[in-house]
Chain A
Amino acid sequence: MRDFDYAAPESVQQAVQLLSQANGSGRPLAGGTDLIDQVRMRRHEPDLIVDIKRIPELNVLEIGADGFRLGAAVPCWKITSNEDISRQYTALGDSCSIIGGVQIQNRASVGGNLCNSGPAADSIPSLIALEAVCVIMGPDGQREVPVAEFCTGPSTNVLKPGELLVELRFPPRPAHSGSHYRRFIPRNEMDIAVVGVGVSVVLDESGENFVSGRISLGAVAAKPLFAEEASSLLAGRPVNDETLAAAAAAARAIATPIDDMRGTVEFRQHVTGVLTERVLQRAIERARSGEPGSLHP
Chain B
Amino acid sequence: MAKKQVVSTTINGQQEEFLCEPRQTLLEVLRDVLDMTGTKEGCSNGNCGACTVLLNGRPIDSCLVLAVEVEGAEIETIEGVAPAGGLHPLQTAFLEQAALQCGICTPGFIMQAKALLEQKPNPTEREIRFYLAGNLCRCTGYDKIVRAVQQAATAQQEVQV
Which positions in A face B, CB cutoff 8 Å?
1-6, 8, 29, 31-33, 36-37, 39-41, 49, 51, 53, 77, 100-104, 106-107, 188-190, 296
Asked whether A100 lies within 8 Å of B45 as measured between CB atoms, the reply is no
- B35 → A minimal CB distance (Å): 20
Chain A residues with Cβ below 8 Å from B44 are 40
Q: Which of B64-72, B86-94, B149-157 contacts A (4 or more CB under 8 A)?
A: B64-72
Residues of B1-60 whose CB lies within 8 A of A? 1-3, 5, 21-25, 44-47, 49, 52, 55, 58-60
- B142 → A minimal CB distance (Å): 12
Chain A residues with Cβ below 8 Å from B2 are 3-6
Asked whether A49 lies within 8 Å of B22 as measured between CB atoms, the reply is yes
Chain A residues with Cβ below 8 Å from B65 are 32, 36, 107
Chain B residues with Cβ below 8 Å from A106 are 55, 58-60
Asked whether B133 lies within 8 Å of A6 as measured between CB atoms, the reply is no
Chain B residues with Cβ below 8 Å from A39 are 23
Q: Report which residue of A33, A36, A100, A190 has the largest number of chain B beta carbons within 10 angstroms of its beta carbon.
A: A36
Cα A41 to Cα B63 in complex, Å, equals: 13
Chain A residues with Cβ below 8 Å from B64 are 31-33, 36-37, 104, 107
Additional A-B contacts beyond A3-B23, A5-B2, A106-B58 (4; CB < 8 A): A41-B45, A77-B58, A101-B133, A103-B112
State which of A4, A40, A296 has its C-beta within 8 Å of the C-beta of B22: A4
Chain A residues with Cβ below 8 Å from B25 are 1, 36
Main secondary structure of the interface of A (DSSP, over half): loop
Chain A residues with Cβ below 8 Å from B112 are 102-103
State which of B21, B23, B46, B71 has its C-beta within 8 Å of the C-beta of A104: B46
User: Number of B residues whose C-beta is below 8 Å from A?
Assistant: 35
- B55 → A minimal CB distance (Å): 8
Asked if B134 is at the interface (CB within 8 A of a chain A CB), the reply is yes
Asked whether A188 lies within 8 Å of B133 as measured between CB atoms, the reply is yes
Chain A residues with Cβ below 8 Å from B45 are 37, 40-41
Asked whether A102 lies within 8 Å of B61 as measured between CB atoms, the reply is no
Chain A residues with Cβ below 8 Å from B63 are 36
With A4-B2, A40-B44 in contact, is A104–B134 under 8 Å at CB? Answer: yes
Chain A residues with Cβ below 8 Å from B52 are 103
State which of B23, B49, B71, B130 has its C-beta within 8 Å of the C-beta of A103: B49
Asked whether B134 lies within 8 Å of A6 as measured between CB atoms, the reply is no
Cα A100 to Cα B135 in complex, Å, equals: 11
Asked whether A37 lies within 8 Å of B58 as measured between CB atoms, the reply is no
Cα A5 to Cα B66 in complex, Å, equals: 12
- B80 → A minimal CB distance (Å): 18
With A6-B66, A6-B68, A33-B64 in contact, is A103–B5 under 8 Å at CB? Answer: no
Chain A residues with Cβ below 8 Å from B60 are 103, 106-107
- A165 → B minimal CB distance (Å): 19
With A51-B69, A190-B133, A190-B134 in contact, is A100–B46 under 8 Å at CB? Answer: yes
Chain B residues with Cβ below 8 Å from A49 are 22, 66
Chain B residues with Cβ below 8 Å from A101 are 49, 133-135
- B112 → A minimal CB distance (Å): 7
Chain A residues with Cβ below 8 Å from B49 are 101, 103
Cα A33 to Cα B66 in complex, Å, equals: 11
B72-104 Cβ-contact flags toward A at 8 Å (1 or 0):
000000000000000000000000000000000
A38: nearest chain-B partner, CB-CB? B45
- B125 → A minimal CB distance (Å): 13
B52: nearest chain-A partner, CB-CB? A103
User: Sorted from nearest, which 8 A-B pairs have the closest CB atoms?
Assistant: A101-B134, A6-B22, A189-B133, A106-B58, A1-B23, A101-B133, A103-B134, A37-B45
Chain A residues with Cβ below 8 Å from B130 are 188-189, 296
B47: nearest chain-A partner, CB-CB? A190
State which of A2, A31, A102 has its C-beta within 8 Å of the C-beta of B23: A2
- B43 → A minimal CB distance (Å): 10
Cα A293 to Cα B57 in complex, Å, equals: 27
With A102-B59, A103-B112 in contact, is A5–B22 under 8 Å at CB? Answer: yes
